[in-house]
Structure 1
Amino acid sequence: MIDVRALAERVGPTLLHLVHVPDSTGCVGDVVITEPDVTPALAEGDLVLGVAVADPAHAVALVRECGAQGAAAVLLKAPMATDGEVRHAAESGGLALVEVRHGTAWAQLVWLIRATLAGTAVEDVDGGDPTSVGTAGVGDLFRLADAVADVVDAPVTIEDAHSQVLAYSARQDLTDPARVSTIMGRKQPDDVLAKFRARGTFRRLTRGSSAIFVPAQQDGTLPRLIMPIRMGGELLGSMWAVVGDEVSEERATAFADTAPLVALQLLRWRVVADAERRRSAELTRRLLESGEGWRAAANELALSDEAHRVVTIDVSAADGLAEGHRLAVWEWITKGIGTRPLIAEVDGLLYALVPDHGGPGGWSALRDTLTLHVHRRAADAPRLLVAAGAAAAVGDLARSRAQAEEMLGVLRSGRTHEPIAVHEELWHLLVLDRMAGAAIDAGIGTLGPLPQLREHDHTHGTEYLATLYAWLRHPGDPRTAGAELCVHPNTFRYRMKRLSTLVEVDLTDPEVRSALLVQLLAERWARHT
């Protein structure tokens, strides 16, 4: 327990100044925020914040009422806190009068006082700064949302710049389906976003820096008071308060005053999240290498013993996509699939580790999400190339990574138009790829009749190499072979007859046919390399 004097010292003179303190003060119980024109119901030892106090007469009445009910102190901003009649009322009522320094956000003060009352060592954070508000953990953001909700007297959500919910207040006394679905999904649903976009809300949010009031909508969505959160010109996120109607100017101002504090916490939260992400990425890289530290990395990441796949994603082909934005693209794509795969960035490529199962957070869900994204990609959206290695034990993920990288090479060459290249489904392309590379290195293209046919095609504009390739692929089926070349079957037969007069080749010999097919495959494969 702590008394008023000790509490003010803990919070610090930067925010609070003791105007009057009785010789004997009891312990502070709770923090209460006053309502305009409402007699507060207090308990002994309450600390009363005069957020909506607009004039000295109101302040005097509040102090007298608080004194009569045994409150510990009243906190006011200047000039009310230093008014002579207000001070006299505090002295007569036997309670403390505390001035809240100019520029102090009420939400910041609520948060700090509650942290102090809960025994949080506020002064130990950030090197002993008494005005520090703690680390940037998720719990801090939720406590901050509660404090902002008390200030604006409405349920509040704190969201990032992509409408992802980072925290929300505990109070649910005023709500609607849009808020419920937003909290349940930790993101504003697309239909809700569309309604606010249609009203120009997000355009104002992106460009402005003041609170925005959005009236109630015909579908039953309650009014919103929205505050953009900025730091250094960057839009970090926003606060959304569900209100019954237009709020008073005092509360709207108090709500807006919380924005710098929320901005600070969003920056701290982002720093902590980035540090955690970097640590996770480093451990993931160890697993991808399957070196000596893979077991320790797996334990620290709490990776299950089940088989995993390595998925390689290339987003470097997207025009104007900065290197540092690749992880943001990945997080945006994988929203809603369950537990997100572990991710690391190596040499401009994203590598994901995903359990090889069909449940939430598994390979099946990730594949469906990525396939949908590839098919629905807008013309100006980043183009993704996605390749997956085969499932492997956690200690053997380097093999799955190598397979994924090889499949990515197949995608880059344009040899397949599949949205996602999966190793066990397209292994035959790798066989041809390796074979073509070895054949070219061995110089097999100079053997047999192919050089003569190649020269004839080049000189006379014929297509005998393509005709021979189609015949080898569809032996005894001139209709299918002709369709592949977009010519009539009789035209195809005529070309094959002419070909046999140009070169001497025994197409009845299966080994000759195999050798020709290998040569032609290697040549055609090399064109895509």
Structure 2
Amino acid sequence: MITVPGVVDRMGPTLLRTVHTPDPTPVVTDVVIAEAAKRTQVSSGDLVLGVATASTADAVDLVRLCGQHGAAAVLFKPPHAARTAVRTAAQKARVALVEVHSATAWAQLVWLLRSVLDAAADEATDALNPGPFGDLFRLADAAAAVVDAPVTIEDANSRVLAYSARQDRTDPARVSTIMGRRVPDDVLARFRSRGVFRELSRGRTAIFVPAQKDGTLPRLIVPVRMGGELLGSMWAVVAGPVSDERAAAFADAAPVVALHLLRRRAREDSDRRRSAELVRSALDGTGSARLVAAELDLADEPHRVVAMDAQADDPRAEGVRLALLERLTEGVGRRPAVADVHGVLYAIVPDVAGPGGWSALREALSTPTGPLVAAGTPVPVSDLARSRAEADEALSLLRAGLVTGPVAAHDDVWAVLVLHRTAVASTGAGVAHVGPLALLRSREDADWYLDTLYEWLRHPGDPRAAAAALTIHPNTLRYRMSRITAAVDADLGDPDTRLALLTQLVALRWS
């Protein structure tokens, strides 16, 4: 259990500032996004983020709504929290009012707040089941007290897992790290150029990095290891060189942090496996749709199944999987529902605009060098198996090069689907092996005969367009068609004959 002041203290003054707190102090249970043009569902104990608040009147209305439903606090960026009308509304509604630093990204704030709530839950669990170590935020505070400097605890990929108090006494690089929940790329590059990560991999107990010309303060860095594996690191922003005794005391905290990271990994692996099992049952159409929706936190709205090509024999496969997970976790307040099935990575995403929805994911993954990604049509949670089958079908078209990639939605490529299904059915019925087309296929120069006839049939009455599709001159097209007319014992002026020939050619080209 954690209160609003407790959340603000954990986040630190770099990100949050309390404007008003009612008495008694409200307890926080969850984080909710107040979106534009959408009635926000607020429950008791919620931290409500005024993401789309455009005016003071909107802010006052949101505060009143939160008060009616017992929310713990409302968070606004400047200038709304400082407005007299908003503060008065918060006092009357008995809701805490918190101001968010203007440069803070809402998406990142959500994940930081959830981390604080998760840490508080871990702390409550530790109180019921005492163990040799507490939550990471308490460990960060303890390590900071030892080294007398603000500390962050990061995983092996430089993502921030926890941080101590006093982060306002650091430098811009640390502030960016806290706000972004990971070390920025330019800061990583600077430390990498100084050989910091090479030293971490070599097993040094403590690494001191002097101040840099760009204003970055000195760092004392300790690797966190267990069984020879680098699990993460602790970073302290120090004023200057640290005594050997204090550095050793700081390093002594690493084994305790390692135990916590291993426990955290085991819990996350268990949660991930459970989530993947639920996703697979939803994709197969087995199990309870209500259970899947509840366990995976799927809202009562249409969802799409997204299939991403991540074949195991592709050297990029692991990077591709991580890239999709990264894209999914960029959504505000959304937990990714992901499972790997036979080399294809499936995700269940809401069919909504904005962060966390299909439209944002589609835009993020539409890069020329990205993986092949296909989506089924939007369906209720109870019908996800159908959306999965449609995603598989669209992905097969991308793999065959019949649809221009790298991203395709089943409902956008319907014309190609019709032709492909027709071709598959026609091939199974053997339609391409009857009639005069068999004679053309037996010729040594069959390719140009078939290609010319195909484009001529596709562009009836427009020889220029047919010639352009073949990248030849219209006169060349007319010459070829005269050869084809002489070779084919059929009336090409008959519409049924043309339709039958086009069906045969589609079967040959699209199956």
TM-score (norm 2): 0.71
Deviation of the 1:317 alpha carbon: 5.5
Q: Structure 1 residues 363, 186: CA separation in 2 closer, same or farther (over 3 Å shift)?
A: same
Q: Secondary structure at the match of 2:442?
A: helix
- The match for 2:342 among 339, 343, 347 is 347
Q: Does 1:146 align with 2:141?
A: yes
In 2: Cα distance, 1:305 partner to 1:120 partner? 31
In 2: Cα distance, 1:227 partner to 1:328 partner? 26
Deviation of the 1:483 alpha carbon: 2.5
**Contact 2:440–2:446 (CA<8 Å) still a contact in 1?**
no
In 1: Cα distance, 2:125 partner to 2:311 partner? 46
| Partner residue in 2 for 1:480 | 465
In 2: Cα distance, 1:237 partner to 1:200 partner? 16
| Partner residue in 1 for 2:426 | 439
Q: Residues 70-124 of structure 1, C-alpha deviation per residue, up to 9 Å, x if partnerless? A: xxxxxxxxxxxxxxxxxxxxxxxxxxxxxxxxxxxxxxxxxxxxx9xx9986794
| Partner residue in 2 for 1:520 | 505
Deviation of the 1:199 alpha carbon: 2.4
Q: Structure 1 residues 462, 292: CA separation in 2 closer, same or farther (over 3 Å shift)?
A: closer
Q: Does 1:496 align with 2:481?
A: yes
| Partner residue in 2 for 1:306 | 301
Q: Secondary structure at the match of 1:375?
A: coil
**Contact 1:287–1:298 (CA<8 Å) still a contact in 2?**
no
Q: Secondary structure at the match of 2:215?
A: coil
**Contact 2:206–2:220 (CA<8 Å) still a contact in 1?**
yes
Q: Does 1:289 align with 2:284?
A: yes
The letter for the 1-side match of 2:397 is V
Q: Structure 1 residues 436, 355: CA separation in 2 closer, same or farther (over 3 Å shift)?
A: same
Q: How does 1:171-320 map to 2 (within 5 A)?
A: 171-316=166-311, 319-320=314-315
Q: Secondary structure at the match of 1:133?
A: coil
| Partner residue in 2 for 1:417 | 404
Q: Residues 363-387 of structure 1, C-alpha deviation per residue, up to 9 Å, x if partnerless? A: 112112222xx4355xxxxxx2211
Deviates more, 1:286-295 or 1:418-427: 286-295
In 2: Cα distance, 1:461 partner to 1:288 partner? 44
Q: Structure 1 residues 495, 321: CA separation in 2 closer, same or farther (over 3 Å shift)?
A: closer
Q: Structure 1 residues 327, 125: CA separation in 2 closer, same or farther (over 3 Å shift)?
A: farther
Deviation of the 1:228 alpha carbon: 1.9
**Contact 1:334–1:369 (CA<8 Å) still a contact in 2?**
no
Q: Residues 397-433 of structure 1, C-alpha deviation per residue, up to 9 Å, x if partnerless? A: 1111111111111112121222111111112222122
Deviation of the 1:446 alpha carbon: 1.3
Q: Does 1:429 align with 2:429?
A: no
- The match for 1:464 among 419, 424, 449 is 449
Q: Secondary structure at the match of 2:169?
A: coil
Q: Residues 271-310 of structure 1, C-alpha deviation per residue, up to 9 Å, x if partnerless? A: 1111111122222223323434111221233321011111
**Contact 1:209–1:230 (CA<8 Å) still a contact in 2?**
no
Q: Secondary structure at the match of 1:354?
A: strand
- The match for 2:368 among 375, 384, 389 is 375
Deviation of the 1:521 alpha carbon: 0.8
In 2: Cα distance, 1:462 partner to 1:314 partner? 32
Q: Does 1:398 align with 2:393?
A: no
**Contact 1:227–1:256 (CA<8 Å) still a contact in 2?**
yes
Q: Structure 1 residues 260, 354: CA separation in 2 closer, same or farther (over 3 Å shift)?
A: same
**Contact 2:296–2:335 (CA<8 Å) still a contact in 1?**
no
| Partner residue in 1 for 2:375 | 388
Q: Structure 1 residues 120, 467: CA separation in 2 closer, same or farther (over 3 Å shift)?
A: closer
The letter for the 2-side match of 1:296 is L
In 2: Cα distance, 1:501 partner to 1:313 partner? 48
Q: Structure 1 residues 435, 120: CA separation in 2 closer, same or farther (over 3 Å shift)?
A: closer
| Partner residue in 1 for 2:330 | 336
Deviation of the 1:189 alpha carbon: 1.6
In 2: Cα distance, 1:322 partner to 1:233 partner? 26
Deviation of the 1:462 alpha carbon: 5.9
TM-score (norm 1): 0.69
Deviation of the 1:229 alpha carbon: 1.7
Deviation of the 1:269 alpha carbon: 0.7
Q: Structure 1 residues 376, 222: CA separation in 2 closer, same or farther (over 3 Å shift)?
A: farther
Q: Structure 1 residues 314, 255: CA separation in 2 closer, same or farther (over 3 Å shift)?
A: same
In 1: Cα distance, 2:126 partner to 2:177 partner? 33
| Partner residue in 2 for 1:408 | 395
How big is the alpha-carbon RMSD for the aligned residues of Structure 1 and Structure 2?
Answer: 2.4
Structure 2 runs not aligned, ≥5 long:
1-119
**Contact 1:358–1:365 (CA<8 Å) still a contact in 2?**
yes
Q: Secondary structure at the match of 1:470?
A: helix
Percentage of pairs with the same residue? 59
In 2: Cα distance, 1:149 partner to 1:402 partner? 53
Q: Secondary structure at the match of 2:346?
A: strand
In 1: Cα distance, 2:445 partner to 2:311 partner? 42
Higher-Rg member (1/2): 1
Q: Structure 1 residues 120, 363: CA separation in 2 closer, same or farther (over 3 Å shift)?
A: closer
